[in-house]
Chain A
Amino acid sequence: MTRTLYDKLVDAHKICDLPDGDMLIYVDFHIMNEYTSPQAFSGLESKGLKVWRPEAHLSVVDHVNATRSVEAHDAQSKLLIDNLEKNCTTHEIAFYGLGDPRQGIEHIVVPEQGLVVPGMLIACGDSHTTTYGAFGALGFGIGTSEVEHVLATQTLRYKRMKTMRVNIDGGTTLGVTAKDIIMKVVQVVGAGGANGFAVEFAGSAIRNLNMAGRMTICNMAVELGARAALIGADETTEKALKGHSHSGKFEFKGENWASDPRAQFDEEIIISGSDIEPLITWGTSPDQSISISANVPSAQDYFSPKAKDALERSLIYMGLTEGQSAKSIKIDTAFIGSCTNSRIEDLREAAKILKGRQVAKGVEAIVVPGSAMTRIKAEAEGLRSIFETSGFEWRPEAGCSMCLAMNDDIAMEGERVASSTNRNFEGRQGRGARTHLMSPAMVAAAAITGHLVDVRDFK
């Protein structure tokens, strides 16, 4: 029988069917942060329960911490950070806190520590847990009640999803990155277009990506509603893990963590790699994007009254006019960071653009490396000095920072940010703040010119 990778992963982790239609699945590895776990620990305590397998969990501080300094910036965030440490001490769970050389954004830290290998099932109280699909592992976000459930039972109640395959064949052109590919997929499938689906990415444009690019793809797949994102494990995966898995000796033992050749998917989407251009979002949903060489949509581009209303609302919030060119959008802030794009590979791409150039006057440019290890590596490679010489502020501590502005990096009302992050929702980077999503290289280019600009003009 031919199976999709998704079905193989679910089958491999299924413990039993439950009488109400759910199944019970085993969670190999579980990650926690300081803001979606507190109520899970208090739930355990109020029910008098223990953690089932403490060594299968990792806690990382990343969402609320300041990145300017290792000290918490206020009492409330310190409370969350200290509370996580206390819970981990009580329950004997690994805790990578502020100042720990392994600390960073959870989805950057986990692959760095070799904690994800093909065939695993990984859960975390964070929607971007889809990232691990890049390794042929099943990763997905869960809520706090489910965090409690995993802590107490090492399992989840689960319902098998439908499957979708997004095929992207053909070479992408120079200047087009993994970020542009996934932004294109979000644009085509739509925000919520993959609700209820596990989405596999296939085709030569995906195969040709390194692990960092694959992680960017799977990370942002949640923006189309995919509860899980997958890329079949191959030689690239195996090479990346050689000597670098948690046990230090990962190897395939004849199994194949990829979909069988004739496996059937419930839906197939086809996108041509050569059609993809560097993209920017103009609106307040990640699917509201256009090519950097295009214009912001006009009401005449839409037929349904609902779509026209949505366009109008987005344009008012974003302070844009119909039909204005993408390149005419001036920015106040450039932000490079987040679990989508703050890996060493992302910093290298941005540094290529910044080298020998200066950030435009009046633009505040910030880079927050994804982890302490990423920062140290970047500094050793000379990237810090390139960023700083160009006028970027290099943050000494890692965290989610201005991606969701839960720390003190908050954009002001009306402030316009070119951002290498994953969500351009209203208020995401601060109340009234305006976010344009794009690749890290495009953020760097926008920082230089002071407005959105085609990164291809910089090569």
Chain B
Amino acid sequence: MKEKNMNKSITGIVAPLPLANVDTDVIMPKRFLITITREGLADGTFADLRFDNSGQQRPEFILNKAPWKQATILVVGDNFGCGSSREHAVWGMRQLGIEACIGTGFAGIFYDNARKNGLALPVVSNETRDKLLEFAKNSSGEKISIELDKKTITAGDILVPFVMDEATQASLIRGRDDTLDTLEYTSAIQNFETKLDDRMRVNVIK
């Protein structure tokens, strides 16, 4: 397995984003999707929340205000990342400097996309999430810390556990390239293919 630098903890200022069902259209509006690269998506991230129609910053939006302007961690509402599969949402959040979102649950595709791009999504209980939301709202710039190896979050006096499956945890800590890692299983894949049922063996007509 290829291993880059181990990344066991994430430390940063935390911002509250309590809206439920924040979908990937809101995270990355479609007008920023007409692109063939992964880059240049920071401005598109939460664009309609951050900017008004004339492109001016909305001063009332949390990520436009001090100290949350510097936030690298978000505490989010239920079902964050629902909707479209667009990985652009995660690319954009990373490019905006977001390293983790703490929530009660995330949409499946968003969760997997996050893992592939080093965006940590610790899952906590409702009660814990609300506690962290309060902490984030009252923040004057204190940093909180997410220990990926111990699966704990420390925010001031708060020390709470979070849930994360082991594969995601390992992937975030090691920052692996799944495609290259999987190619180490080439012979297993080839063996499987020899047993494929003809009815499943698609050969798309060009």
Contact = CB atoms under 8 A, between A and B. Distances in A.
A83 B204 contact: no
A406 interface: yes
A423 interface: yes
A26 to B, nearest CB: 5
B134 interface: no
Most buried by A among B38, B113, B202: B202
A94 interface: yes
A290 B86 CA distance: 29
6 contacts: A35-B34, A47-B180, A119-B199, A126-B84, A245-B199, A285-B20
Interface residues of A, number: 83
Contact of A227 (B36, B86, B108, B177): B108
A433 B111 CA distance: 28
A21 B165 contact: yes
Interface in B72-127: 78-79, 82-87, 90, 105-109, 112-113, 116-117
Interface string A17-35: 0101110101011000001
Contacts, number: 206
Nearest to B79: A192
Interface stretch (B4-12, B21-29, B56-64, B153-161): B21-29
A428 interface: yes
B133 to A, nearest CB: 11
Interface residues of B, number: 62
A348 B53 CA distance: 40
A228 to B, nearest CB: 9
B87 A406 contact: no
A149 B85 contact: no
Given A21-B166, A126-B85, A191-B21, A153 B179 contact: yes
Contact of B83 (A24, A49, A127, A149): A127
B105 A157 contact: no
B85 A141 contact: yes
B190 to A, nearest CB: 10
A149 B105 contact: no
Interface of B: 18-21, 23, 25-26, 29-30, 33-38, 48, 53, 78-79, 82-87, 90, 105-109, 112-113, 116-117, 165-167, 170-171, 177-180, 182-183, 185, 188-189, 192-193, 196-206
A429 to B, nearest CB: 10
B182 A155 contact: yes
A253 B199 CA distance: 10
Among A21, A146, A192, A426: residue with most chain B CB under 10 A: A192
Nearest to A190: B79
A149 B178 CA distance: 7
A contact patch SS = loop
Given A55-B202, A143-B112, A431-B29, A152 B36 contact: no
Contacts of A406: 30, 33-34
Interface stretch (A56-64, A211-219, A292-300): A56-64
Nearest to A63: B33
B182 to A, nearest CB: 5
A423 B167 contact: no
A250 to B, nearest CB: 6
B102 to A, nearest CB: 16
A425 B109 contact: no
Given A113-B204, A153-B185, 13 more contacts: A21-B165, A49-B179, A58-B204, A80-B35, A93-B204, A145-B87, A159-B167, A195-B106, A225-B79, A225-B82, A227-B108, A423-B25, A427-B25
A94 B192 contact: no
Task: Pick the most buried of B25, B35, B108, B196: most chain A CB atoms within 10 A of its CB.
Answer: B108
Interface string A49-78: 100110111100000100000000000110
Contacts of A95: 206
A51 to B, nearest CB: 12
B165 to A, nearest CB: 6
A328 interface: no
Contacts of A192: 21, 78-79, 82, 105, 107
Nearest to A127: B85
A431 B52 CA distance: 11
B204 A94 contact: yes
Nearest to A241: B199
Interface stretch (A36-44, A332-340, A450-458): A36-44
B85 A143 contact: yes
A376 interface: no
